[in-house]
Amino acid sequence: MNAATLFAALAAREGVVLRGASASWSAATLLEEVAALSALLADCRVLAVLADNGLEWVVADLAVLHAGRVHLPLPAFFTQEQLAHALDQTGADAMLTDQPDRIEALGLGFSNVATWRGLAWMRRECMPAALPAGTAKVSFTSGSTGTPKGVCLSADGLLQTAAALVTTLADLPLMSQHSRHLAVLPLALLLENVAGVYAPLLRGAEILLPGLAQLGWRGMAGFDARALQRVVEQEQPHSLILVPELLKAWVASGQRMPDSLRFVAVGGARCDAALIEAARRLRIPVYEGYGLTECGSVVSLNHPGADQVGTVGRPLPHVRVEVDTTREIRISSPAFLGYLGGGGKVKTKVFSTGDLGHLDHAGYLHLSGRRKNLLVTAFGRNVAPEWVEAALTAQPEIAQAVALGDARPWLAAVLVAMPGVDTTALNLAVARANAGLPDYARIKAWIASAPFTSGNGQATGNGRPVRTAIAASHAEAISTLYGNKESRHVVL
């Protein structure tokens, strides 16, 4: 599978392909727009796109593919520091954005030279970055540290992922040429980019592209399920993709789904089996999958006819999944070329995921945990707890800190105050730490604790916190924090 195959499929299409907030485009119109923008990219190396969901985002993505250049999708939830890091690391020399003030404020030399379909067209002179041969897209993780890692991906590998999804779901009614996919996640997230744009284009579906605010997004840490419900009722889509926290908010609203909906994929973070069952009681046809950026976004997927709740489905045909003797999941994927600054192309396609699990006798993949401490929130954001803890303990009022929140909608912390520091001072200290973190890595609530020591089993001999012991010691208080509905829906 390659880009030529995708564009050939588009050329054979009739009827509406994309429908945005104010226009609907046929395949012919889309290809004309792609060709026109592709010509503008002749002297560019890397095009960064920081923009809302819409027709323009898809055109930019396809134009980069058509021109053989490199696309750098930038999530709007990145901090200024993370944006600067991504732009510097990739040597991006062109930019399309609906937030030009943010880009100019970075001081990286970008200047506004024109306007393209309402987006600022910005350019700069800079040194090229060393990218693995064949890189078509650099997808940055959501930032497990302050400097997120850039994953270099091939066009053929990404399109093989999309084609594998089409093949796997080929027998479903939603595969008809009259089906509609509603893009709910930000297009800058690889999951929606591959499974919500490339795959529907290949299978002949129409893609619905409302703006994120219309869908209910209130920043990456907040979501209005009622807004999503209104869009779904109005547009009557056949498929969409969610992360667990969006599904949870939708289920909590208690509204039943329209009959049009045939397939809802949920991924990006661990999803509790009870949530899937609750969703299905509301006629939300939800199926859990699993994937990583390095593997082109989707590795395995449950679907009608091959569904086992509590697993993340069977691997798609384009990947090979194995489990080593330590129970770590290892994946062979054609998409992964290496990391930025990794010294060139990777020597092997086998990627060690850091996830623990097993394949059962029927070929379904079960996940059981993560090898390292990395937290994955219910919004699918990766957060290294050490990063957040460093921001907290940098405050003079906080002596020790442990961040929590794996599979939760927001982060909490267990804090040890310096002597004489009261609750008011701790609140102010947490607020200062949060100010330097992106919204998905901020502490929403905290618990005061006695010091973590080797004597009480909550620290090692050299002072490192023993996370499992701390979580167990405060299990009841942690449960109370996350069980407080009023607190849980507050967005920082």
Amino acid identity at 96? L
Q: Are 443 and 430 in contact (CB under 8 A)?
A: yes
| Better pLDDT: 228 or 172 | 228
Length of the chain: 492
Q: How confident is the model at residue 356 (pLDDT cuts 50, 70, 90)?
A: confident
Provide the H-helix boundaries in 210-330: 212-215, 225-235, 244-253, 273-281
Q: Per-residue pLDDT for 126 more than 80?
A: yes
DSSP reduced 3-state for 32: helix
pLDDT of 31 > 70? The answer is: yes
User: Would you say residue 347 has pLDDT above 50?
Assistant: yes
Confidence band, pLDDT 50/70/90 cuts, at residue 489: very low
CA 474 – CA 136 distance, rounded (Å): 46
- Report DSSP state, residue 198: I
90 compared with 484, residue with greater pLDDT? 90
- The yes-or-no verdict on residue 167 having pLDDT over 80 is yes
pLDDT tier at 373 (50, 70, 90 boundaries)? confident
Span 458-471, pLDDT tens digits: 886 556 788 889 99
Mean pLDDT of 368-372: 78
Mean of the per-residue pLDDT values of the chain: 90
419 or 119, greater pLDDT: 119
Q: How far apart are alpha carbons 428 and 35 in whole angstroms?
A: 53
pLDDT band at 488 (very low <50, low <70, confident <90, very high): very low
- Domains assigned to the chain: 3-369 (3.40.50.12780), 384-488 (3.30.300.30)
- Answer yes or no: is pLDDT of 382 > 60: yes
Tell me, what's the pLDDT at 174? 61
What CA–CA distances, in Å, run from 263 to 237, 239, 266, 300, 373? 9, 5, 10, 15, 33
pLDDT at 121: 98
Whether pLDDT at 144 is above 80: no
- Name the residue with higher pLDDT: 94 or 77: 94
CA gap 334, 2 in Å, rounded: 12
Confidence of residue 142 (pLDDT cuts 50, 70, 90): low
CA nearest neighbour of 57 among 66, 48, 70: 48
Instruction: State residue 366's pLDDT score.
Output: 94
Cα end-to-end distance, the chain, whole Å:
43
Q: What is the dihedral of CA 110, 113, 116, 119, to 10 degrees?
A: 40
**How high is the pLDDT of residue 457?**
84
At 6, list the tokens. 């995708």
For range 388-407, the mean pLDDT? 90
Please compute the mean of the pLDDT values over residues 304-333 and round it to a whole number: 93
For residue 492, what pLDDT is reported?
25
The answer on pLDDT for 298 being more than 80 is yes
Assign residue 174 a region: left if phi > 0, alpha if psi is -120 to 50, beta otherwise? alpha
Q: CA angle at residue 419 from 415 to 420, to 5 degrees?
A: 105
Q: What is the pLDDT of residue 269?
A: 77
pLDDT band per the 50, 70, 90 thresholds, residue 343 = low
Percent of the chain with pLDDT over 90: 68
How many whole angstroms separate alpha carbon 119 and alpha carbon 96? 6
Neighbours of 323 (CB within 10 A): 16
**pLDDT, tens digit (0-9, with 9 covering 90-100), for 205-231:** 999 999 999 999 986 556 889 999 999
Q: Is the pLDDT of residue 348 over 80?
A: no
Does position 439 have pLDDT exceeding 60, yes or no? Answer: yes
From the CA atom positions of the chain, what is the Rg in Å? 23
